[in-house]
Chain A
Amino acid sequence: MELSLTFSESMLGALSRDEQMEEYKLLFQVIPYPILIYEKQNQKILAINKEAKKLYGYSVDEFLELSLEDISSCKLENKIPQLEKILKLRKDEKEIAVRVKDQPIIFQSKNAIMLTISDLGDCVVKVDYKNEKENCTSNCSLNGENEKITEKKVRSKIFDADISGLIAVIDKKGFYKYVSGNAEEVLGIEVNEFIGNNALNFIHLEDLPKVKESLNLINNTKHVFIPPYRFRDVNKKWRWLETQLVNDLSDPTIQGIIAISNDITHKVEERLNKEIIKSLVNSASQTGTLLESLNEVLRRVLRFSTINIAEIWLVSEDKSDMDLFCSLSNEVKLKGDFYMTKAVNRFKPGVGLPGNIWMEQSPIIWDDLQQNQKFIRRSNALKANIKTGIGIPIFYNEEVLGCLLCLSKYRKEELKGQTEFLVDIGKHIGPVIKQKVVEENYNNFFNLSPYPHCIVDYKGVIKKCNQSFTELLQYPILEILGSNIFNFLHPDEDKNIITRIKFALKNKVFQSLRTRFISKSKEIKWLEWNGKVIPETKNIILVAKDITIQIKSEEKLNLAYTKLKAAQKIAKIGYWSRDLDSDLSVWSEETYKIYGKEKNNFIPTKENIIKAFHPDDRHYLENPYDKYVIPGQNPEFEHRIITDSKQMRWVKQKIKVIADEDNTPNRIEGIIQDITEKKNQELKLKLSNERFVLAQKASNELIWEMDFRNKTISRGEGYLNYIDYNTKEKLSINNSWTNKIYSEDFERVCTSFEEILKCEERNFWNGEYRILNRDNSIVYLVDRCYILRDKDRNPIKVVGSVLDISNSKRQTQSIRKQNEQLQEIAWLQSHTIRSPLSRILGLVYLYKDANGGEKTLEEILDYIGESAEELDTVVKKIVEMTNKFKHEADLIDR
């Protein structure tokens, strides 16, 4: 096949120049024929492709140091195309026969020659340009029956073609007529095996159609190319060949179809492997989690190789161990046998096969695992009949991520061809694993984060969100994804906030902001948002912090502070504080009010505060009062202050000392309360009490008090001089006082008192009783009291007074007696005096009106005389009684 380096314009015409150059470079490298470019003038090698590198064994850098002559066994003459050359390999000085084809080009702005090289294989043919003599050495064997068709004849027919590999001549039906001597070398099959045999018998069933088609075509045309097909070698393995057919049926020397086949097994396998790996990597990249992804890798490893158990081990986060991440087997029983025996999931560096791979960072093959002392799981291998272990390190850049461990029942020799495939897998899955690990870490972080996360596009549509987000809004995820984030904003949300969000989405610049969201259950959620624009995906990542509790706490705090301020105002309590090393205090609003100062006009320095104190109380500040300042103690004191309006006020201050960690006081704070009113009340009370005490002393009453809470009775001392009682004792019905009550009065008094106590509506009691004094004489008392009750109408306190009315009683009795006497006198006056008097008057009237009636004047006069004497007697009696009464009255007065 003639290598063409020209590509159709339709292929490259749409590409830019740079893109075309990249395409050329790619093709230059991937062409399966060695190519080198050398400068025409000095024959310095300018470029080589991979195949050339492989063929000669030099590295690129080494090649670029050479000229063409260095790798030629004879001098090249310019512009001699298609000459057979003998060129040597530097490493082993081996000479190989190649056919070259050169093409002038411009390369790196220089006149250059592009040399296409066809390796003629082990068949070394020396070319003597002078003699033009062909000399075929080594193993070109010619079948005796094919002497007519010689290599020479055949080669002369394919002079223009590239030759490598096997040359054969077949008839129309595909039967071999001639096979070149290198058949055994190429395919391991002796020439004899071919002759008379049909080529189609060696071909893979799947490839037969295209080969047959080519055979049909060649009958009517000169050249046909059979694309790669599988050909069975001596070991019954399939080798990939590509064949060029040349129709020489009409040539009397050939009378057949020349088939020139190249063994491209390696290339095809390489390509297939590459495709497999590419497909594997693609699939692994797209498959979900890391585990799923790596399981997919292992599945393909098992599918495309003769590995029986595949494992992936990954280095732990802390780089201390390598852990078994996943494993797969193509036989369930095998896997069971291997893992049931002994489970080992972790290795340190240098221990076991994974540990050794990790340490050496290169592929390792261990055979005879069942006996290999370094293979920790020997017993597992024995159980499962595993013989060989291949370990491939997985890299990402230069970091070892882990290793791919492949275990097989086959021996090492049987697995030779698969090592490279596995190594390639190891090379390519590194980035995938890394990406998946990062993805998984990211997803875990995203999903497990306690903060709501979401990703929105530039229009605000939610693309992704985590569980915290759904839980916050209480919507199922399906209702959230695809919805616009504005749908979840509180309907009363400030328009400014909405504008800011829209601005952020539009301009892809996100600044922290607070919003209210409304959940499905209509709960308001306060969120503080931060976001980052991701230009590559045209999304914005939003992370929120639920600050609902914080906002509520702030509101409560504000409310509490407002209430505190109000309370301080109502209670007239102010707050102040001062650093001990500072002269300046910090006052609350209420403190200013208490001092009667204006905040704008007064600076609370120590000096100014002293001036605000009453002159008699300045000692509290002027003395080094800091000595009172002891952490843990909260001293308090009352003092007077003078306001700006010259008003005196009483205040109470309570101080607290704040200490640092070393218990050194560094700050002082306190509260100040206006107690002027209270102080005035105290003063009034004090005066009232004093008056009361004086009044009590002046009066003849005994004040007593019953305290039901403290269960005590207390009495004044007024009657102690003649009645024995306790001034303070336990509350009891029988006490030092009641025990003195006259026996006839005791029950009456106690009963009536108790009845009043029990009666919730009554708050007053009074009673009169007698008490025995010290010398057992009777004292008359009037006792009365007021009852103080609580909200349940239970008595709390009873305050009463007792008055000794003995004197009054005696006086009353005396007065009563006097009244009786007076009544008697009055009666006497009314009855006894008037009786004779009325008689006298009657007699006088009788005489005047009736001339005495039947009585004479003398009789009348006698009667009058008797009555007058009676009257006189009565008057005397009255005088006597009056004198007696007056005497008794004098006695009472005294």
Chain B
Amino acid sequence: MKQILLIDDDPITNYINQCTIKKKFPNTEILIFEKSNEALNYLERYTENTYLIFLDLNIPIMDGWELLDKILEKRNKLKVKINILSSSVDSADINRAKEYKIVSSYLIKPMKFKDLDKIVF
């Protein structure tokens, strides 16, 4: 089963993103997680699903980078396609994201509909 996960600690952002994504993937279930560890637990629990993940970097407790590292450790078990969705325009963050092979793209908030053109799920 395919599912789209939105991992961001800001509900407003999540709402915005959900509305935008729904337009692109109307038939795909969208799950929202405001905490990284909860998202990780879900992924670990339901490894049979294929996930399209939109991940914020600046999440308290476990930020996006840490989650990426955790997912990377388990990449053989998980079928994930991760898109960073961050408000940071810092080139350091962008370059760092490129180093993760599991990261498909780096999107700058706010998400726009046209950003989803290149995403295939």
Using CB atoms and an 8 Å cutoff, list the residues of chain A in contact with chain B.
826-827, 830-831, 834-835, 837-839, 841-843, 845-846, 849-850, 853-855, 863, 866-867
B37 within 8 A of A: no
Q: A835-B10, A850-B20 are contacts. A842–B90 as well, Cβ < 8 Å?
A: no
Q: Is the CB of A845 within 8 A of B58?
A: no
Given A835-B10, A850-B20, A842:B109 Cβ within 8 A: yes
Q: List 10 A-B contacts (CB under 8 A).
A: A826-B90, A830-B88, A830-B89, A831-B58, A834-B87, A842-B13, A842-B17, A842-B110, A850-B23, A866-B12
Q: Is there an interface contact between B19 and A839, defined as CB atoms closer than 8 Å?
A: no
Min CB distance A509 to B, Å, is 116
Most-contacted residue by chain B among A842, A853, A863, A866 (CB, 10 A): A842
Q: A838-B13, A842-B16, A850-B20 are in contact. Are A831 and B87 (CB under 8 A)?
A: yes
Known: A827-B90, A831-B87, A831-B88. A839 touches B20 (CB 8 A): no
Complex Cα distance, B89 from A769, in Å, reads 41
Chain A residues with CB below 8 A from B13, complex form:
838-839, 842
8 Å CB interface, B1-45 against A: 10, 12-13, 15-17, 19-20, 23
Smallest CB separation, A586 vs chain B (Å): 89
Q: Mark B64-96, 1 if CB is under 8 A from A, else 0.
A: 000000000000000000000001111001000
Question: Do residues A834 and B109 form an inter-chain contact, with CB atoms below 8 A?
Answer: yes
Given A827-B90, A831-B90, A855-B15, A842 and B58 contact (CB-CB distance below 8 Å): no
Q: Does B102 contact A (CB under 8 A)?
A: no
**Residues 83-121 of chain B, each 1 if its beta carbon lies under 8 Å from chain A, else 0:** 000011110010000000000000011111100000000
Known: A831-B88, A834-B89. A853 touches B19 (CB 8 A): yes
Known: A834-B88, A838-B110, A839-B110. 9 other contacts (CB 8 A): A831-B87, A835-B87, A838-B87, A839-B10, A839-B16, A846-B20, A850-B19, A853-B15, A867-B12
A834: which B residues are within 8 A, CB to CB? 87-89, 109
Q: Which 9 pairs of residues, A with B, have the shortest CB-CB distance?
A: A842-B110, A838-B109, A834-B87, A842-B16, A853-B19, A830-B90, A838-B87, A841-B110, A835-B87
Whether A835 pairs with B110 at a CB distance below 8 angstroms is no
Docked Cα-Cα span, A665 to B67, in Å, equals 108
For A864, give the chain B residue with the smallest CB separation.
B12
Q: How far is the CA of A855 from the CA of B15 in the complex (A)?
A: 9
Q: Which partner residue on chain A sits nearest B16 by CB separation?
A: A842
| Separation of A841 and B16 alpha carbons in the complex (Å) | 10
Q: Bound state CA distance, A867 and B23, in angstroms?
A: 24
- Report how far A471 CA is from B90 CA in the complex, Å: 108
Give the residues in chain A near B110, CB-CB below 8 Å.
838-839, 841-843, 845
Residue from the set A837, A839, A855, A867 with the largest chain B CB neighbour count within 10 Å: A839
A833 CB to nearest B CB, Å: 8
Q: Are A849 and B87 in contact (CB under 8 A)?
A: no
A residues less than 8 Å from B17 (CB atoms): 842
Tell whether, in the assembled complex, residue B90 and residue A846 are in contact, meaning their CB atoms are under 8 Å apart.
no
Residue interface bits B54-68, CB-to-A below 8 A is 1, else 0: 000010000000000
Specify which chain A residues have a CB less than 8 angstroms from the CB of B20 in the assembled complex. Answer: 845-846, 849-850
Q: A827 vs B108: C-alpha distance in the bound complex, in angstroms?
A: 15
* Given A850-B19, A850-B23, CB of A843 within 8 Å of CB of B89: no
- Measured between alpha carbons, how far is A846 from B23 in the docked complex, in Å? 11
Closest A residue by C-beta to B110: A842
Chain B: minimal CB distance from A311 (Å):
136
Tell me how far the C-beta of B6 lies from the nearest C-beta in chain A, rounded to whole angstroms: 13
Q: Contact residues of B with A, CB < 8 Å?
A: 10, 12-13, 15-17, 19-20, 23, 58, 87-90, 93, 108-113
Which of chain B's residues have a CB closer than 8 A to the CB of A838? 13, 87, 108-110
Indicate which residue in B10, B23, B58, B87 contacts A837 across the interface (CB closer than 8 Å): B87
Which residue of A827, A830, A843 contacts B16 across the interface (Cβ within 8 Å)? A843
Contact across chains for B109 and A846 when beta carbons are under 8 A apart: no
Residues of A within 8 A of B58 (CB): 831, 835
**Alpha-carbon distance between A849 and B113 when the two chains are bound, in angstroms:** 9
Chain B, residue nearest A855 (CB): B15
Q: Who on chain B is nearest to A840 by CB? A: B110
B93: chain A residues at CB < 8 Å are 830
CB distance from A598 to the nearest CB of B (A): 83
Residue of A nearest to B19 (CB): A853
Find chain A residues with CB under 8 A from B10 CB: 835, 839
In the assembled complex, the Cα of A689 lies from the Cα of B8 at a distance in Å of 71
| Distance of A866 Cα from B113 Cα, bound (Å) | 24
Give B23's nearest chain A residue, CB to CB.
A850
Question: In the complex, what residue of chain B is closest to A826 when comparing beta carbons?
Answer: B90
Closest Cβ of chain B to A539, distance in Å, is: 119
Tell whether, in the assembled complex, residue A863 and residue B87 are in contact, meaning their CB atoms are under 8 Å apart. Answer: no
CB neighbours (8 Å) of A845 from chain B are: 16, 20, 110, 112
Return the chain A residue nearest B111 by Cβ.
Answer: A842
Query: When chains A and B are docked, how far (Å) is the Cα of A834 from the Cα of B108?
Result: 10
Complex: chain A residue closest to B56, CB-CB:
A835
Q: Which residues of A contact B108 (CB under 8 A)?
A: 838
CA distance A866 to B11 in the complex (A): 13
A640 and B110 alpha carbons, distance in the complex (Å) = 90
Which residues of the other chain, B, contact A827 by a CB distance below 8 angstroms? 90
Q: How far is the CA of A849 from the CA of B110 in the complex (A)?
A: 13
Which residue on chain A has the smallest CB distance to residue B11?
A863
Q: Which residue of chain A is the closest to B10 with respect to CB atoms?
A: A839
| Minimum CB distance partner of A833 in chain B | B87
For the complex, what is the distance from the CA of A834 to the CA of B112, rounded to whole Å? 15
Q: Which residues of A contact B19 (CB under 8 A)?
A: 846, 850, 853-854
**Contacting residues, chain B, for A855 (C-beta < 8 A):** 15
B12 touches A843 (CB 8 A): yes
Tell me, rounded to whole Å, the shortest Cβ–Cβ distance linking B26 to chain A: 12
B45 CB, nearest partner CB in chain A, Å: 29
Distance between A160 CB and nearest chain B CB, rounded to angstroms = 178
State in angstroms the CA–CA spacing of A846 and B111 once bound together.
10
Kindly list chain B residues whose C-beta atoms are within 8 Å of the C-beta of A831: 58, 87-88, 90
* Residues in B neighbouring A863, C-beta threshold 8 A: 12
| Cα distance A605–B108 in the bound complex, in angstroms | 102
Q: Which residues of A contact B112 (CB under 8 A)?
A: 845
Instruction: Chain B residues near A850: list those with CB within 8 A.
Output: 19-20, 23
CA distance A842 to B109 in the complex (A): 7
Distance (whole angstroms) from the CB of A856 to the closest CB of chain B:
13
Measured in the bound complex, the distance between the Cα atoms of B58 and A834 in whole Å is 12
Q: Please give, as numbers and ranges, the residues of chain A lying within 8 Å of B88 by CB-CB distance.
A: 830-831, 834
How distant is the Cα of A826 from the Cα of B92 in the complex, in angstroms? Answer: 11
Residue of B nearest to A834 (CB): B87
A854, B16: Cα distance in complex, Å: 10
A866 and B13 CA atoms in complex are apart in Å by 13
Minimal Cβ-Cβ distance residue in B for A866:
B12
Among B19, B58, B93, find the residue whose CB has the most chain A CB atoms closer than 10 A.
B19
Bound complex: CA of A839 vs CA of B10, how far in Å?
9
A819 to chain B, nearest CB (A): 14
For residue A826, which residues in chain B have a CB less than 8 angstroms away from its CB?
90
Q: What is the CA–CA distance of A866 and B93 in the complex, to the nearest angstrom?
A: 26
Least Cβ–Cβ distance between B34 and chain A, in angstroms: 14
Give A826 Cβ to nearest chain B Cβ, in Å.
7
User: Which A residues are CB-close (under 8 A) to B15?
Assistant: 846, 853, 855
The CA-CA distance from A70 to B20 in the complex, in Å, is 201
Cα(A843)–Cα(B20), bound, Å = 11
The complex places the Cα of A77 from the Cα of B17 at a distance, in Å, of 207
CB distance from A262 to the nearest CB of B (A): 167
- The smallest beta-carbon distance between B110 and chain A, in angstroms, is 3
Closest to A837 in B: B87
Q: Which residues of B contact A853 (CB under 8 A)?
A: 15, 19
A839 to B58, CA, bound (A): 14
| Distance, CA A845 to CA B13, complexed state (A) | 12
| In the complex, chain A residues whose CB is within 8 Å of the CB of B90 | 826-827, 830-831
Contacts of A866 in B (CB 8 A): 12
Across the interface, name the chain B residue whose C-beta is closest to A835: B87
Residue of B whose beta carbon sits closest to that of A862? B12
Q: How far is the CB of A839 from chain B (nearest CB, A)?
A: 5
| Cα–Cα, bound, A820→B99 (Å) | 24
Q: Give the one of B12, B17, B88, B112 with max A CB within 10 A.
A: B12
